[in-house]
Chains A and B, each alone.
Chain A
């Protein structure tokens, strides 16, 4: 396998198998879209649950952005939280300062983040592995400082953050704001995953993966490595930025403190745990980011109650152990592990 610093798992070998399994994905999406009807009125699915679902999808989009860059193009990023923040702030500032409607801010956030990613991708061309890791780490650290920068305060509102309002369902539809947000997020996610799927299946996708596997060979084959690498950085930033914008709408508040370094690490962990080079992996990763802390918290509380330890056990310990165990059992991520299992079950 490749010896570059960011090895990814092999291209999903089930490329040929996909057409057959497509229909059930669309069925699942339809089911998800109908949830507000089923759940809302009957009270089976609470608004809070829709909030949780929306967040899982938002993080899935964010993780997808990272996966496109790292899993499918071999460039590491420890700083994707930066693009998340840029997307969130773009949306919030447009709503707050310019009075734009929420849906119009999403494309702008996408474009702004693409540009930021593309521009960052240019010097990043010269950096690889650890050096790129440092550069992206620096980006993650720099963005909150930019948001607090004195000369930007007139539109970022500095440390106090910006308050915005969650969109209301249009045309007086009988949906709660949470359900409407959920549908928006679902629609955006379906669109973006569909685009990603098509991107990866195209020539661009193959070029991306060729660069990941052996960039020297790819360039000798005529692939314009520089062009693709910066493009992918831009696209990757675009995806995570849109996730950030959606996140801002969901929480109706952005502040520099919301986008610290921990966010970048969470996205990275989600990507690896989900499956660094797989689209289903992005979905699993998004779910993981959203639920792991609750499970760690709940488990910690149960353990503390059950066993009388001389110390105040903290959720991060459980979280850390979970990460290590997951990497043990499934070093290719959950998606990788599941597909290996599937292949084994199907037989030779």
Chain B
């Protein structure tokens, strides 16, 4: 072999090696339904009506985000066509709407479908059809089970992780804890409660002195709060959605009950929950924090928050600036943007899943510094870290380190 041939062979093999090592964003374009040279169709369902309509703002905020992205040129030159339908938080409706998205609208994948029962209803269908059920808007622990449902992925720190963190904190910090729990009587509440019991360990049933449940259709939780106070509990785990959280905080103060109060992250918004409940009633409440609450004074001049406010004003002017759901929507949309960018020109459903399972150390806007998204083929829980915060004065004071529960299926 002549020197020239060897050199060219080396060069050729080098080029080949380079080509093989190059990221999936290679020159070849591959599409599944919903993706073309000019657009990517993303499907979604949200409860715009019914009992859970307060969460409908998330769908609207996501829509606004992608309007912004499209105005800025789209992702890899493609516009995002975000199609969202109302399911009223009723599982049959969700199934119908998701089938419409997949079979009629031919979306590439389904994103941020909201609610545990709705997502449970569509999980089998989407996995059967091999359509990604991406970054679902619920913290139930079941969304990270990649072996049984390889097309489903969660997003937020799951409820079990969060309640285990609370349980551990209680065990470490409260002398002789007697725990009272207020729980919304549905899938979301159950998931938190089960995680909590798991975190308390084998003595869980002895430590929990009273479980009081409520229905979403109850006007108030006053009688449950009275029950809890009278059980002698000195610790209160508050698993409630915003309206009931505010009622519970206010009532606890009214009846003179001052337990060590742990509030689920779902209702940690200052503007939407704490302020209506009364700052003076909410002192020393502990929660797990991961989204920057835009009404929290410590973030007033934070770069993320300023940017977010500008976004809201321009693209979602009817959106509520005190609602941290709108911050959550911004963060998760940013994650999707990143994943789609990473897909490059390979917009097959399989690649979307592959890229979603390949995010490393990503810091999202509106998420606390240091809490990063990490996914892998065996880790379908993008966010698994939180920081504990205690409410002092008029804001959440972060304390302690970032607490993680990286990987491990619950």
Contact = CB atoms under 8 A, between A and B. Distances in A.
Interface string B91-106: 1100110011001100
B48 A160 contact: no
A257 B124 contact: no
B187 A160 contact: yes
Given A51-B99, A148-B185, A253 B49 contact: no
Contacts of B86: 297, 315
A253 B186 contact: no
Contacts of B100: 48
Given A159-B186, A160-B190, A314 B49 contact: yes
Contact of B48 (A47, A253, A257, A314): A314
Contacts of A212: none
A46 B91 contact: no
A55 B85 CA distance: 18
Contact of A159 (B60, B124, B187, B318): B187
Contacts of A152: none
Between A51, A160, A161, the greatest number of chain B beta carbons within 10 A of the residue's beta carbon is seen for: A160
A148 B217 CA distance: 14
B214 to A, nearest CB: 12
Contacts of A252: 95, 124-125
A163 interface: yes
A159 B89 CA distance: 14
- Identify whether the interface residues of B are mostly helix, strand, loop, or mixed: helix
B90 A258 contact: yes
Contacts, number: 77
Interface string A142-158: 00010010000000001
A311 B317 CA distance: 10
Nearest to A88: B92
Interface string B75-92: 000000000011011111
Contacts of B60: 312
B318 A255 contact: no
A161 B117 contact: yes
B113 to A, nearest CB: 14
A253 B120 contact: yes
Contacts of A256: 186
Contacts of A103: none
Nearest to B57: A312
Contact of B91 (A148, A257, A315): A257
Nearest to A252: B124
A168 interface: no
A161 B96 CA distance: 17
Contacts of A141: 217
Nearest to A160: B187
Nearest to B115: A257
Nearest to A261: B217
Given A47-B103, A159-B190, A251 B90 contact: no
A316 interface: yes
Interface string B122-145: 001100000000000000000000
A46 B103 CA distance: 8
Give the most central of B85, B92, B96: most A CB within 10 Å: B92
B321 interface: no
Residue among A159, A253, A257, A262 with max Cβ neighbours from chain B (10 Å):
A257
Contacts of A312: 60, 318
A163 B104 CA distance: 24
Nearest to B140: A160
Nearest to A145: B215
A260 interface: yes
Nearest to A310: B318
Contacts of B187: 159-161, 255
Given A47-B103, A48-B100, A316 B117 contact: no
B88 to A, nearest CB: 7
A251 B124 contact: no
B121 interface: yes
Contact of B95 (A158, A160, A253): A253
A88 to B, nearest CB: 10
Given A48-B100, A145-B215, A159-B190, A257 B89 contact: yes
Interface string B46-57: 001111000000
Interface string A31-62: 00000000000000011100100010000000
Given A159-B185, A297-B85, A251 B91 contact: yes
A26 B48 CA distance: 41
Nearest to B100: A48
Contacts of B189: 159
A163 B95 CA distance: 13
B404 to A, nearest CB: 27
A336 B208 CA distance: 60
- The 7 A-B pairs at the shortest CB distance, nearest first, are namely A48-B103, A253-B121, A257-B117, A251-B92, A159-B186, A255-B117, A159-B187
Interface of A: 46-48, 51, 55, 141, 145, 148, 158-161, 163, 247, 251-253, 255-258, 260, 262, 297, 311-312, 314-316
18 contacts: A48-B99, A48-B103, A51-B96, A51-B99, A141-B217, A158-B190, A159-B187, A160-B120, A161-B120, A161-B187, A163-B124, A247-B92, A251-B95, A253-B92, A262-B50, A262-B88, A297-B85, A316-B49
Given A311-B318, A315-B48, 16 more contacts: A141-B217, A160-B187, A251-B95, A252-B124, A253-B92, A253-B120, A255-B117, A255-B120, A255-B121, A256-B186, A257-B90, A258-B90, A262-B90, A297-B85, A312-B60, A315-B49
